[in-house]
Chain A
Amino acid sequence: MKPVKFSTFLFTMLVGLTFQLYPWSNTGIIIRPDFLLVIMIYWLLQAPYHCNIGWVWFAGLLVDLSTGSLLGQHALTFAVTAFLGLIYQRRLVLFNRWQLYLYVIFLFGAQRALILLLKLFAGGELPDWTYGLPVISDLILWQCMIIWFGELTRPKKL
């Protein structure tokens, strides 16, 4: 794991926001990954010296503003997810690839469950099963991040 420049971090965040703002069609929105969440969680675990809970929270706030939902909803869930991610952050090097996938799925799932809970409290209705689909596309995006910016687990040779 090479240290990452702060500018790289900011740039990926901007790219994530742009993708978040992309006008998704009806079918696209069902499978759209949570770009900012995946990118921020990746940096939180990979480069904790740049990205902390505050940054992830801020990204959540950006999502709130761009979706026009209640201000603070996504920010809250992002912050909680970031905290859950930080619990095992130092032990990640011991994980193998599949354990890491499982862990990440848990994180993304937790975020979706939390936002669902908040929306239900606010009087929303229960969505159908396709609500869980973005977790899969999140995982694909996660793999892309790993390919572009490096593994989180320890290389096998050491």
Chain B
Amino acid sequence: MLKGIHQQLDPQESPAFFIQGPKPFSRLMFFCTLSLVMMAVDARFDYLSQVRQWFSTALHPLEVLASAPNEWGRNINTYFTSHNQLIQDNFKLKQQALIDHAALQRLATVDAENVHLRTLLAGDLPIIPQATLGEVLHMGRDPFSNIITLNRGSRHDITPGQAVVDEQGVVGQITRVYPFTSEVTLITDKKLSIPIQIERNQLRAIAFGEGKRNTLDIPYLPTSVDIKVGDKLVTSGIDGVYPAGLAVAVVTQIKQSQDSPFAKIISRPIAGVNNHKHVLILKMPDTPAMNQASENRPVLPRNNAQHLDQSVVEVLQKNNAAVDPHPATETPVLDAAPASPDGGAAATPENTPATPEHP
């Protein structure tokens, strides 16, 4: 019962009434030093990540046990979802599927055309990421960090750095992977920055999270920059983490102050960063795969937008000799479009909104 009662006391030490082993203060000093060392090691080096992995694996059963009540609650809720609700949902989903199918058909054509054009210009093939469906386990246990935990981990081939999106836009990035779970740092987190592009004018910038306020900040843009409230920000794809063209945020506020050369631009994330159950974890294809696609071609940087004009010149030089099935038929159509009555139909929708403005 009393653990320390049998231990021998040093002769010079006066017998204490309460036997506690080492004095509390020396214990405190020891453990304080230990935790300070651990904090330093954890912050600077990578030694302790293995400890986290073991711990996470050992604790997985307890975690499952802890989340069981929630799981049951959800299952019961699903069970009692009314028949009507299901029929309505089914109807809605079918409608959505129809609309999406129509859009997808167009996408397939445009995609094929895009690949064709890119090969013509000797550019890289577009990067098409693979996706894994993940479920949000919990919104993080630390009120300080903007982290969510997903139910996919290294056992499901998830690696740190992968982008996480929902149906509307970018949610965040995988920052730590455990065997069965992984942590996603949200784009609103202070530590996360994301390369973006303004969809309207393709202006590139970097957006930083602002923490608890659930907004993004775009610093270092001059006050004269062409940006408006309501502009949509999409990923630029330069970093190789996020595929290009995913929606990130909408600009909500632009403040210009006299004493700063930079505008304060605040935007709100488009994705439901704090309210969703399922997300997609995107995996960018490995670099070897991309090299295969462009084996015989000159190696271009991943974002070849700036280098396009150079490659256009090269291609044009070669193109005289190149055998191409389409250009002979396609180019005249493009040129003739404004002149012909059929092509004029395509041009009219562009003209009509302009006409009411002029009078």
Contacts and interface: CB of A to CB of B under 8 A. Distances in A.
B67 A75 contact: no
A125 B27 contact: no
Contacts of A65: 51-52, 55-56, 59
Interface stretch (A25-33, A96-104, A150-158): A25-33
Contacts of A26: 139, 274
Interface string B18-43: 10110011011001101111110111
B39 A72 contact: yes
A48 B20 contact: yes
A21 B59 contact: yes
B225 interface: no
Contact of A25 (B35, B41, B139, B176): B139
A11 interface: no
A60 to B, nearest CB: 8
A80 B32 contact: yes
Interface residues of B, number: 51
Contacts of A80: 28, 32
Interface residues of A, number: 49
23 contacts: A3-B1, A49-B1, A53-B27, A57-B31, A60-B35, A68-B52, A68-B176, A69-B142, A70-B42, A71-B42, A71-B51, A72-B34, A72-B35, A72-B37, A72-B38, A75-B38, A76-B32, A76-B35, A83-B25, A87-B24, A124-B144, A127-B212, A131-B143
Interface of A: 3, 14, 17-26, 29-30, 48-50, 52-54, 57, 60-61, 65-73, 75-76, 79-80, 82-83, 86-87, 90, 119, 122-125, 127-128, 131
* 6 closest cross-chain pairs (CB), A and B: A23-B138, A72-B38, A72-B35, A76-B35, A72-B39, A71-B42
